[in-house]
Structures are given as structure tokens and as C-alpha cells.
């Protein structure tokens, strides 16, 4: 604990004297995490758009009902009509 306090005091004194420090490890980690989250968000958005496009196309062809949940492979039209 004593060394941590000494480091903090030394850094504050250096900053007061005009020293400029780079990003802390926490700042770097936060930025890396934000980049990963942004990539995930882009991928999830693209997947959602693809699912909606598939749903719209399949619905227009009579392959699924609007109430069906789209997961995986589309059902053939004969199986979709057998449900109703």
C-alpha cells in the first residue's frame, strides 16, 4: 500500500511540474473492450438484417407464416401449410 501511495504522489508531483503521461492500463483495456463491443454490435445488426430479409422473402413465398419463429433452415411450403 505504501508503494502505491508513493507512486500516486510521485505521478501527481510530476504532472504538476508539467509531465505528460500516456494512457493508463485501465484506459487501454477500456478502449479495447469498446472496440470488441462495437464489432459485436455491427455483426449482430447484420445478422438481424439478414434474418429479417429471410423472413420477408420466406413469408412472401408462403414458406412460413408470420407467426412462425425463424430459426435455422426454412421449412418447405408443404410443411408450412400442414401446420394450419
- The range of the structural domain enclosing residue 39 comes to 2-83
How much is the pTM? 0.48
Cell digits of residue 30: 477500456
Give how many domains the chain has, as a whole number.
Answer: 1
- Residue 8 backbone zone (phi > 0: left; psi -120 to 50: alpha; other: beta): alpha
User: What are the tens digits of pLDDT across the range 38-76?
Assistant: 999 999 999 999 999 988 888 777 666 655 555 555 555
HEC-encoded secondary structure of 9-72? HHHHHHHHCCCCCCCCHHHHHHHHHHHHHHHHHHHHHHHHHHHHHHHHHHHHCCCCCCCCCCCC
Amino acid at each position: 500500500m505504501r508503494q502505491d501511495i508513493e507512486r500516486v504522489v510521485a505521478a501527481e508531483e510530476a504532472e504538476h511540474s508539467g509531465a505528460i503521461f500516456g494512457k493508463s492500463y485501465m484506459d487501454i483495456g477500456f478502449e479495447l473492450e469498446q472496440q470488441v463491443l462495437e464489432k459485436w454490435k455491427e455483426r449482430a445488426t447484420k445478422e438481424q438484417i439478414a434474418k429479417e430479409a429471410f423472413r420477408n422473402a420466406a413469408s412472401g413465398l408462403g414458406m412460413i407464416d408470420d407467426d412462425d419463429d425463424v430459426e435455422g433452415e426454412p421449412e418447405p411450403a408443404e410443411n408450412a401449410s400442414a401446420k394450419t
